[in-house]
């Protein structure tokens, strides 16, 4: 025992002598050599991950925080910090300072330690860091495999835990405080054609799993969807289901509120990766001319437009659209034919989805959700009535919600549909739609086409991209309007009338068109009278002045 104390005293004396009598450079050299000599006997190596590196958040520190926090509930550790904020779905766990835990990767123990302290200087602030210790023979494994694995797992944890938020544009910028979306709509509860729903979900999943494939073929990892069809057919609900399925934030863009093409580009650049950018009613938000429609845009609308067609095309797939990854663009419209074909091509709108009026397949999904029944003796009546009327899934859902009794609810819906059928028979409503389906070659999607009363033939360019499994239209109608709104309708007859039913449908459409034109004429006459009265009053005021 005495010999040990004597050895320690000798070491202390030698250390004091070295620091007091040896020059500083020589002391540092001896100290470095001594540490190098002792390191040969140390088998561990340590990596340090600071919370901030050069005033920027260290991604490895954040990733370690998420990765280790996921394992904390399953291991024994004295103290754990637990949090829950409104921006995350689940509880978050983190280590207390000056604690350690062991993680096992490929049967190799990895020792993690968490430290926290306050910085020195005038402005004191808390600094945190992790220390990772492992056997030095596994340094290559840690650097090339373990750390990338932590980054990948952390990204998945972050995506899984975050809540879906809605961002809106205000004064040329996205609002700094997005709103949390709590829309309950999912693909399981969405009333939609079963085959079309399946194709859409498969397309979304295939896109999300194709990041490496897009890089391999040299394409930007993004996707575009066009949702079109009559109002109330579920376009907004479908967007909510897409966001919940992917767990993506929604950026809702109103083009009429964008001041210029430059601002439009900046908004695109500031959208986050793995998000959905939505442009609702793209044909109504700004007045963009369809260059192939034959309709010239009035000069006043050309002057009012702040976003140009060229700017919108560059926004969809220009060089700036290459910035970021995993972005999805969704545009909606009630009238697809009003949109310029350049906006609809593959690469901008990759998949065109037609949302039609309620079909029997969609009704059965609604009945299962609202009434918890998959079949009923009255279903065959509804199956016969639905093709005869234009009724949206939202309208059907409203009828089913009136009572939870399956029989009473189904009878109420039948009564509602029969009333609509009677109105059509009396000529007080629109002619029932004819539902057709076609397969779009450019989008590889089941696209449903609906002719309003009179089947309309597509022009030659459109027919190149559409294959119709149904019968060819009976009538081809082309209409060209002038800039002043006056029309010159030219009807080209191709097997115009083949039976009495076709003649009845055509006459009904013509009568509806005549009624609509007469209503426009009356409105114009009333506006003209009002304008003349106002002009007379202004002239009187001017005369008195």
pLDDT tens-place string over residues 196-236: 889 999 999 999 999 889 989 988 899 999 999 888 888 88
With 60 as the cut, is the pLDDT of residue 272 above it? yes
The Cα-based distances of 221 to 211, 348, 445 in angstroms read: 6, 12, 19
- Written in H, E and C, the secondary structure of 85-135 is CCCECCCEEEECCCEEEEEEECCEEEEEEEEEEECCCCCCCEEEEEEEEEE
Q: In this predicted model, which residue has the larger pLDDT, 89 or 253?
A: 253
The CATH number assigned to the domain holding 348 equals: 3.40.50.300
Residues 256, 334 within the same domain: yes
Residues 220, 325 within the same domain: yes
pLDDT bin (cut points 50, 70, 90) of residue 486 is: very low
Residues 250, 141 within the same domain: no
Compute φ and ψ for 217, nearest 5 degrees: -95, 0
Q: Which domain holds residue 111?
A: 42-161
pLDDT bin (cut points 50, 70, 90) of residue 158 is: confident
pLDDT tens-place string over residues 425-472: 776 544 444 443 333 333 333 343 333 333 333 333 333 333 333 333
Instruction: Spell 402-421 as b/e; 16+ CB within 10 A means b.
Output: eeeebeebbeebbebbeebe
CA 171-175-176 angle, 5° bins: 130
Q: What pLDDT sits at residue 503?
A: 57
The Cα-based distances of 335 to 282, 301, 331, 342, 445 in angstroms read: 10, 19, 12, 15, 18
Q: What pLDDT sits at residue 243?
A: 93
Orientation angle between helical segments 2-21 and 24-39, nearest 10 degrees:
140
Taking the C-alpha atoms of residue 322 and residue 269, their distance in angstroms, rounded to an integer, is 9
Residues 171, 311 within the same domain: yes
The structure tokens 């934030």 sit at: 249
Residues 267, 332 within the same domain: yes
Provide the 3-class DSSP secondary structure of residue 145. helix
Provide the 3-class DSSP secondary structure of residue 226. strand
Last residue of a domain, one of 126, 144, 161: 161
Residues 201, 157 within the same domain: no
The Cα-based distances of 357 to 9, 339, 365, 398, 449 in angstroms read: 94, 21, 14, 14, 11
pLDDT bin (cut points 50, 70, 90) of residue 328 is: very high
In this prediction, what percent of the chain has a pLDDT beyond 70? 75
When the pLDDT of each residue in the chain is averaged and rounded to a whole number, the result is 76
**111-125, 251-265, 495-509 — which one is most confidently predicted on average?**
251-265
The Cα-based distances of 100 to 79, 131, 135, 207, 436 in angstroms read: 10, 9, 16, 40, 65
Q: What pLDDT sits at residue 225?
A: 95
Last residue of a domain, one of 330, 354, 378: 354
Question: Averaged over 405-423, what is the pLDDT?
Answer: 90
Q: What pLDDT sits at residue 145?
A: 93
Least confident of 169-183, 195-209, 361-375, 469-483: 469-483
Q: What pLDDT sits at residue 207?
A: 94
Q: Report the DSSP pairing between strands 173-174 and 165-170.
A: antiparallel
| Adjacent-strand bridge partners of 131 | 48, 113
With 80 as the cut, is the pLDDT of residue 9 above it? no
Taking the C-alpha atoms of residue 312 and residue 430, their distance in angstroms, rounded to an integer, is 35
Residues 446/196, Cβ–Cβ less than 8 Å: yes
The verdict on residue 271 lying in a domain is yes
Q: Report the DSSP pairing between strands 434-440 and 327-333.
A: unpaired
pLDDT bin (cut points 50, 70, 90) of residue 41 is: low
Task: Output the six-digit token pair for 455.
Answer: 């089947």
Least confident of 73-77, 308-312, 506-510: 506-510
Task: Output the six-digit token pair for 23.
Answer: 């020059």
Number of structural domains (the chain) is: 3
pLDDT tens-place string over residues 518-538: 777 777 877 877 777 787 778
**68-72, 143-147, 162-166, 440-444 — which one is most confidently predicted on average?**
143-147
Q: What pLDDT sits at residue 439?
A: 32
With 90 as the cut, is the pLDDT of residue 147 above it? yes
Task: Output the six-digit token pair for 239.
Answer: 């967007």
Residues 250, 343 within the same domain: yes
Question: Averaged over 245-261, what is the pLDDT?
Answer: 87
Residues 202, 315 within the same domain: yes
Q: In this predicted model, which residue has the larger pLDDT, 474 or 173?
A: 173
Residues 150, 180 within the same domain: no
Task: Output the six-digit token pair for 416.
Answer: 């509602």
Task: Output the six-digit token pair for 28.
Answer: 């540092």
Residues 211, 313 within the same domain: yes
- The most distant pair of C-alpha atoms in the chain lies apart, rounded to whole Å, by 123
pLDDT tens-place string over residues 125-141: 788 899 999 988 889 99
The Cα-based distances of 155 to 59, 151, 274, 433, 452 in angstroms read: 11, 6, 11, 47, 48
Compute φ and ψ for 276, nearest 5 degrees: -115, 120
pTM: 0.62
- Closest listed residue to residue 115, CA positions, set 54, 44, 46: 46
Residues 396/363, Cβ–Cβ less than 8 Å: yes
The verdict on residue 262 lying in a domain is yes
Last residue of a domain, one of 161, 191, 220: 161
The verdict on residue 230 lying in a domain is yes
Residues 153, 196 within the same domain: no
**22-36, 357-371, 464-478, 507-521 — which one is most confidently predicted on average?**
357-371
Question: Averaged over 230-245, what is the pLDDT?
Answer: 90
The verdict on residue 505 lying in a domain is no
Residues 144, 171 within the same domain: no
The Cα-based distances of 413 to 237, 295, 383, 418, 487 in angstroms read: 22, 42, 12, 9, 41
pLDDT tens-place string over residues 403-412: 889 999 999 9
């Amino acid at each position: 025992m005495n010999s040990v104390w004597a050895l320690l005293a000798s070491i202390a004396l030698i250390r004091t002598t070295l620091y007091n009598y040896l020059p500083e450079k020589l002391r540092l050299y001896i100290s470095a050599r001594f540490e190098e000599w002792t390191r040969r006997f140390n088998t561990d190596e340590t990596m340090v991950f600071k919370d901030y590196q050069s005033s920027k958040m260290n991604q490895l520190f954040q990733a370690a925080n998420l990765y280790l926090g996921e394992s904390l509930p399953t291991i024994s550790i004295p103290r754990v910090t637990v949090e829950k904020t409104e921006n995350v779905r689940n509880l978050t766990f983190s280590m207390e300072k000056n604690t350690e835990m062991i993680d096992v990767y490929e049967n190799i123990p990895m020792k993690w330690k968490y430290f926290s302290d306050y910085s020195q200087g005038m402005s004191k602030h808390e600094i945190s860091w992790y220390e990772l210790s492992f056997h030095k023979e596994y340094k290559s494994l840690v650097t090339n495999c373990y750390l990338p694995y932590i980054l990948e797992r952390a990204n998945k944890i972050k995506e899984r835990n975050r809540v879906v938020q809605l961002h809106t544009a205000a004064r040329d910028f996205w609002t700094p405080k997005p709103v949390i979306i709590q829309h309950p709509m999912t693909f399981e509860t969405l009333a939609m054609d079963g085959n079309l729903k399946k194709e859409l979900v498969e397309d979304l999943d295939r896109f999300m799993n194709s990041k490496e494939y897009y890089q391999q073929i040299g394409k930007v990892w993004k996707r575009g969807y066009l949702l079109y069809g009559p109002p109330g057919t579920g376009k907004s609900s479908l967007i909510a289901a897409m966001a919940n399925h992917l767990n993506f934030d929604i950026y809702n863009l109103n083009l009429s509120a964008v001041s210029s093409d430059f601002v439009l580009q900046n908004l695109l650049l500031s959208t986050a990766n793995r998000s959905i950018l939505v442009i609702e009613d793209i044909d109504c938000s700004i007045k963009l001319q369809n260059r192939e429609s034959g309709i010239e845009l009035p000069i006043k609308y050309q002057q009012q437009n702040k976003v140009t067609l060229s700017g919108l095309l560059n926004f969809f797939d220009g060089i700036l659209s290459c910035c970021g990854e995993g972005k999805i663009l969704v545009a909606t419209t009630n009238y697809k034919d009003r949109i310029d074909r350049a906006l609809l091509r593959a690469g901008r709108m990759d998949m065109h989805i037609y949302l039609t009026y309620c079909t029997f397949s969609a009704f059965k999904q609604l009945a299962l959700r609202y009434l918890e029944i998959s079949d009923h003796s009255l279903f065959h009546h509804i199956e016969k009535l639905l093709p005869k009327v234009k009724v949206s899934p939202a309208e059907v859902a409203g009828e089913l919600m009136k009572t939870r009794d399956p029989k009473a609810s189904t009878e109420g819906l039948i009564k509602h549909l029969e009333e609509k059928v009677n109105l059509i028979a009396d000529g007080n409503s629109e002619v029932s739609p004819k539902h057709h389906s076609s397969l779009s070659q450019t989008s590889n999607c089941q696209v449903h086409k609906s002719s309003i009363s009179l089947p309309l033939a597509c022009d030659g360019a459109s027919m190149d991209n559409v294959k119709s499994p149904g019968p060819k239209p009976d009538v081809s109608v082309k209409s060209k309007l002038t800039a002043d709104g006056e029309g010159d309708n030219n009807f080209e007859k191709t097997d115009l009338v083949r039976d009495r039913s076709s003649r009845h449908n055509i006459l009904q459409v013509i009568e509806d068109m005549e009624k609509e034109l007469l209503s426009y004429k009356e409105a114009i006459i009333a506006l003209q009278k009002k304008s003349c009265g106002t002009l007379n009053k202004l002239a009187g005021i001017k005369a008195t002045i």
